[in-house]
A and B are shown apart, each in its own frame.
Chain A
Amino acid sequence: MQRRHFLKNTMATGAIALAASSGLLVPGQVLAAWNKKAFDAKDVQSALKAAVGTELTEASDKIHIKAPQIAENGAVVPITISSTLSNVKSITIISEKNSTPLVAKFDLKGKTEAYISTRIKMGKTSNIIAVCESGGKYYSARKEVKVTIGGCGG
């Protein structure tokens, strides 16, 4: 498992390096208010890289994902993410097998607590990955949700 991840990561990094060098020509795009690159990314690694700047996250048991084990309707999957990590700056939600995995990124300012509850769409059974930024590091947790009817497309 570890080794497979390593290979996947190195491959993804190579692709991103290419994308980044071509992207340098249009710096305005990177600074755009809405992170198009991250939301258009087709795989988890590049989505993470574009959204938070790194695809390497440390698994943490201090992030809690509350989601149904089985979601009957993939169009509406209620999820709640909370964390006991200190000073969480952002929470990023990823649905691993969606055609564009990045679901949303929440920047928590000031005294906002590490708690987000929302409803998301899931194309098929997959892991939900929650990434929390705390003290300049990224921590993640995952939880599988089984989807019986997909929420993407008709």
Chain B
Amino acid sequence: MAKSSIKIRAKAKNGVVTVKTLISHKMETGLRKDKKTGKIIPAHFIENVVCEHNGVIVLDAEWGVAISKNPYLSFKFGGGKAGDKVKLTWKDNTGKSDSLETKVK
């Protein structure tokens, strides 16, 4: 399989899991112009990010174009321990998506 667009780390400490993730995505706003052709580069950005902990959704995010290129996201949830599964899925406005599962350390 090609290299995933997602990098994810999840670490448990005192029952609280901290998830840090980086997604490789250009997050095009639809406001920029191509310098050579002068045409507007169409918007291309991640709309939805969902994170599951052992199959249960813990975070459901809706993003606009104002999230930076190659988005970084970090959040925390309780009730987790080392070895638990954390899965992150994103979907963009062109219908593309990707997901990656990792184990909590």
Contact = CB atoms under 8 A, between A and B. Distances in A.
Interface of A: 33-35, 39, 75-78, 80, 95, 98-100, 102-113, 115-122, 151-154
A99 B31 contact: yes
B64 interface: yes
Given A34-B47, A103-B66, A107-B61, A119 B77 contact: no
A45 to B, nearest CB: 16
Contacts of A100: 64-66
B72 A118 contact: yes
Nearest to B27: A121
A121 B67 contact: yes
Name the interface size band of chain B: 20 to 34
Contacts of A102: 64, 66
Contact of B75 (A35, A99, A116, A153): A116
Contact of A110 (B32, B47, B79): B79
B31 A109 contact: no
A111 B35 contact: no
Nearest to A35: B62
Contacts of B64: 39, 100, 102-104
Nearest to A121: B66
